[in-house]
Amino acid sequence: MRADLAMEELTVSLRALRAVAADFPALPAPAVHVSPIFPNRLELSLHDDLRAFESWRLALGIACEDVRLGMQSEGRTWVLEAGTDFAGASVRLTAFSAVSRSGGSGA
C-alpha cells in the first residue's frame, strides 16, 4: 500500500459499487470492502445465505464453473468464491455459511 494514495485512486472500485447498487437494487445487501491495497477491486461478501451468493453470481454473469468451493473452521464453514470484471473493476464475490450436520451419526 502506498502512503500517498489519494481517494481519487479508488474511483474504479467505487464506481463499480455505485453500478452494482444501481443495477441490482433488489439483491441482498452484501458486506462491501474497498481497499487502497487493491484500489481497483470491489469485494462483496455474504454471510449465512448461499442463495444470496447465487443471486449475485447470476446478476454478475459469473459461470458456475468459475465458482470455487472451500471449507474453513475445521470443516464447519463453507466458502464460495468467484470473481469477474464489472464496471471496470475486479469484483470478488464470497459467501460463508455454516455446514449443516444432520443425522445421529455425528458425521
pLDDT digits (tens, 9 = 90+) for 8-25: 999 999 999 999 999 999
Distance in angstroms (rounded) separating the CA atoms of residues 96 and 77? 6
The one-letter amino acid at 87: A
The DSSP 8-state label assigned to residue 88 in this structure reads T
Query: Look-up: residue for cell 468464491?
Result: 81
Neighbouring-strand partners of residue 43: 33, 92
Q: How many alpha carbons lie under 13 Å from residue 12 in its C-beta half-sphere?
A: 15
Residue 26 exposed, middle or buried by CB count within 10 Å (0-12, 13-18, 19+):
exposed
Which tens digit of pLDDT belongs to each residue from 39-81?
Answer: 999 999 999 888 999 999 999 999 999 999 887 666 678 899 9
pTM of the model: 0.84
Q: How many alpha carbons lie under 13 Å from residue 10 in its C-beta half-sphere?
A: 16
